[in-house]
Structure 1
Amino acid sequence: MAVEVILPKVDMDMETGQISRWYAKDGDTVTKGQLLFEIETDKAAMEVDAPASGILGDISAAEGAVVPVGQAVAWIYAEGEERKGGNATAVEPVIVAEASVPAPVNPVAQPVATPVPAVQAEVSGVRATPLARRLAREAGLDLNGVAGSGPKGRVQKKDVEECLATVAPVAVVPQRVATPAPRPVTLSQAEGALNAVWLRQGEAGYLPIVLIHGFASDLNSWRMLLAGSNLKNPVLALDLPAHGQSPRYVPDSIDMIAAAVEATLTAHNVGSCILVGHSMGGAVATLTAARGFTDVRSLVLISSAGLGPQINGAFLEGLIRAKSEASVTPWLKELFADEALLSKAFINATVAQANDAELRHAQAGMAAQLCTDGTQTFEIRSSLAQLNIPVRLIFGAQDRIIPVAHASGLPGEIGVHVFSKCGHMPQIEQRDALLRIISECSKVVQ
């Protein structure tokens, strides 16, 4: 049965997309998941995979063509099947959901648009990451003369720095550690952009602050921090995969979560930003900054995971199993040095999540994947060592989830703040101090 290949909708405002390149031609045999073509919108470049295996035919949009969302651009036929142009038999249309809507339980086969994080085409036609464009702009470097080492020849940060080192070595800020190429991550459409909400519109001229919560929480957990604050920055908060209103899949790695964050920032037109992450969100924020696709100007890490292998495995397992207020509350008390700071609203929100069986099942899978046998299976120290941006790390001296000792042994350029009489939740236990730190980082990068 012939399968229709359509131009998918990859962000909420998208009406058309330009086909920038075909990777297969009419008559080629293709397999499901194979890269078929690349499209560009005014926000990003996207790769579209084959929704089925078969023979590609009836390509109706050439490279450079601007195509409306939902229009067929080709068909995939079974071996020996009559072409559509020749009155093909039954046709199976492909339906593509918007990137922000989780896929149905039994979705129809569809082309998968894979985000190329935070990448846009220059007017000159050069493809480069936002960070590479900023570095080139500040150095007065023409990107047309820079050879890109990224996917499809995209210019990355290291390409600009290598070029500057050749023509003007003094203009380059030396790296502490050679920057590794970002590890490739493929996201399906259902695993693309995450749920995100602008909690503050902010004032013109201030960089957006992006908030990334920790395990078993959601974006609403940040509202207490922001209430009554005088931050002037726009504030965007995300729900991680398997949390809040984001798609409920189990990511294979922290890299996969970082790629989803990058896709989300692209969808919300966030270029340069300040990242603030708590616990697991701190590890995600660090890797997002280190990958170099997003122009992260400053990093604030709160009780961050990924700095050592130890973690309170009993807490993770107990919180996942608990379903009632009576069983949830003892585990939540582990988060605080002063249990009186554990509010009724915090407990109620956690109980509501605990009784969402699908949500908790996905979170259990995430905990098993990223914290196997009570051990953190990922690390961010090497990523922190390669960053040349302001970084602040905040820990509570009485943290019972992640040992405060993990804050030791970091590069001297990283500001480390350890608060006494504070546990795993400095954003609640040391709210005013944390807001001052975020404000200071915001001023540094204006």
Structure 2
Amino acid sequence: MPVEVILPKVDMDMATGRISRWYVGEGATVKKGDLLFEIETDKAAMEIDAPASGTIRDISGKEGIDIPVGEAVAWIYAEGEATAAKPTQEAPARPIALNETAPAAAATANVPEVVSAKAVNATPSNGTRATPLARRLAAGAGLALDAIAGSGPKGRIMRRDVESAMTAPKVEVKAALWPDQIISRPPASSQPRPAPQLSAGAAPLNFAWLRQGEGRPIVLLHGFGADLNSWRPMLAAGPVDAPMLALDLPGHGGSPRQTPADLDAVAVDVEATLAALDVGPVLLVGHSFGGAVAATVAARGDADVRALALIAPAGLGPEINGAFLQGFVRAKSEASLMPWLRQLVVDEQVLSKPFVNATLAQAADTELRTAQADIADRFFADGTQTFDIRSLITGLRIPVRVIVGANDRIIPASQSQGLPGEVALHTFAATGHMPHVERREQVLKILLEMARA
């Protein structure tokens, strides 16, 4: 008999939840414990594992809509089990929510629908059809809904449509709809602050608002060979009440495939992106190579950086695992990639299947990996860190915290010793080069404390 996959209750007050992302598709083969989907609640984002091994079928839990706790969102069939074997118990009728239409709901739910004409024909006051999650994401990113093409039923704007608009190389934002409420800062005067005017290509780097919230924004810069999505596991560790903006560095993710001349050149692109989005003052966070970039941005003083967090930062000493850099950019298959990914962490279980698959997808992008190989040759020539950020940190007059893993096999944790006494150093035992993944709860807590200070 097939195994029912239900929407679980992940906090005490939860009556409904939303699937923010499916990691598998219809017909996929899964093993017990594999990651199936992510639930987004008002308090946290939680990853849900497969309760059994088999083939995923009858996916009815759609992304971005409210789903009652305990409702079946899919079924897992054992090998050779007929699809018709699924139990056909009659389920109680449920009314369609205002963000659904009768055709969409009837096609995706295995229960009778009770539909009122008022519910079906309801249209938001601004005339634009969008799911609540899409509206919330668009507001957090400062995007006008009427400028986004919807891919859902009857042109409804879905989460994926907003995310595509958020990461598009060309950005257009209508001034009247810029979300000042996302960034809390005292007004410069009693006169209203004019909203930013973004022309096409004004933001040189690809970006995405991973979370919305209030207070000081947290800007995240990933490490070498990663992209802005590498921060998502950390954000699933608990509730996040601060706006979080992640950027793709040059030669990474959706940013231009170029090799910057030096750290200052990367910093210029980061500063221009923040200026185009009118983001500031900020807590700037950087991991590994992104840590060196973050320190450079803070030291230049052109961006309004009020605090700096460096996670396993590069640039504090010459030694680096050159074999890892070369092996990583050359790997094209899971068999050749996994030995290098294992060097990033102490606990290999944090290397989830979605993480591995995402890295493999990047490995298949020849242009991307060629750009990253050039970046490695420029900044880590002959297996050596060719730049130094220690003096930059020493000259800063803002709060600085450095977070490292004691068992880092890429950049030795010992390089973080000898920093000025006012720099707080957090060293996590039994942790490798990715503390924000292996110790995500603790690192997230540190960052949120810094943002609130």
**Shorter-chain TM band:** 0.5 to 0.7
Measure the CA separation in 2 of the matches of 1:356 and 1:381.
34
Aligned counterparts, 1:271-420, within 5 A: 271-420=280-429
Q: Deviations over 1:239-270 (max 9, x none)?
A: 00010000000011111101100001011111
Instruction: After the TM superposition, list the runs of 4 or more consecutive aligned residues in structure 1 that deviate by more than 6 angstroms.
Output: 189-192
Question: Does the 8 Å contact 2:309/2:401 carry over to 1?
Answer: yes
Aligned counterparts, 1:13-412, within 5 A: 101=169, 193-203=204-214, 206-227=215-236, 229-412=238-421
Q: What displacement does 1:443 show?
A: 2.1
Question: Does the 8 Å contact 1:200/1:233 carry over to 2?
Answer: yes
Q: What displacement does 1:340 show?
A: 2.2
SS at match of 2:293: helix
Measure the CA separation in 2 of the matches of 1:419 and 1:201.
28
Question: Does the 8 Å contact 1:320/1:354 carry over to 2?
Answer: yes
What is the aligned-residue identity percentage?
57
Question: Does the 8 Å contact 1:191/1:247 carry over to 2?
Answer: no
Q: Which residue of 1 aligns with 2:114?
A: none
Change (3 A) 1:362 1:191: farther
Change (3 A) 1:190 1:337: same
Measure the CA separation in 2 of the matches of 1:313 and 1:222.
24
Change (3 A) 1:255 1:237: same
Amino acid at match of 2:419: L
Extract unaligned runs of 5+ from structure 1. 1-98, 103-133, 138-188
Extract unaligned runs of 5+ from structure 2. 1-166, 171-185, 189-199
Question: Does the 8 Å contact 1:280/1:304 carry over to 2?
Answer: yes
Measure the CA separation in 1 of the matches of 2:396 and 2:272.
21
Q: What displacement does 1:190 show?
A: 8.2
Q: TM-score normalized by structure 2? A: 0.56
Q: Which residue of 1 aligns with 2:183?
A: none
Amino acid at match of 1:197: A
Question: Does the 8 Å contact 2:217/2:451 carry over to 1?
Answer: no
Measure the CA separation in 1 of the matches of 2:204 and 2:274.
8
Measure the CA separation in 1 of the matches of 2:311 and 2:433.
8
Measure the CA separation in 1 of the matches of 2:280 and 2:406.
35
Measure the CA separation in 2 of the matches of 1:415 and 1:249.
34
2:430 pairs, out of 396, 416, 421, with 421
* Aligned pairs, number: 262
Q: Which residue of 2 aligns with 1:91?
A: none
Q: What displacement does 1:343 show?
A: 1.3
Q: Deviations over 1:269-305 (max 9, x none)?
A: 1121000110001111111011000110111110000
Question: Does the 8 Å contact 1:302/1:393 carry over to 2?
Answer: yes
Amino acid at match of 1:245: G
Q: What displacement does 1:101 show?
A: 3.9
Question: Does the 8 Å contact 1:191/1:260 carry over to 2?
Answer: no
Amino acid at match of 1:196: F
RMSD: 2.2
Question: Does the 8 Å contact 1:100/1:194 carry over to 2?
Answer: no
SS at match of 2:375: helix
Measure the CA separation in 2 of the matches of 1:315 and 1:241.
20
Measure the CA separation in 2 of the matches of 1:201 and 1:338.
30
Change (3 A) 1:256 1:324: same
Q: What displacement does 1:332 show?
A: 0.1
Question: Does the 8 Å contact 1:190/1:247 carry over to 2?
Answer: no
Amino acid at match of 1:246: S
Higher relative contact order (CA 8 A, sep 6+): 1
Measure the CA separation in 1 of the matches of 2:340 and 2:427.
23
Amino acid at match of 2:209: W
Change (3 A) 1:100 1:342: closer
Amino acid at match of 2:348: E
Measure the CA separation in 2 of the matches of 1:412 and 1:228.
30
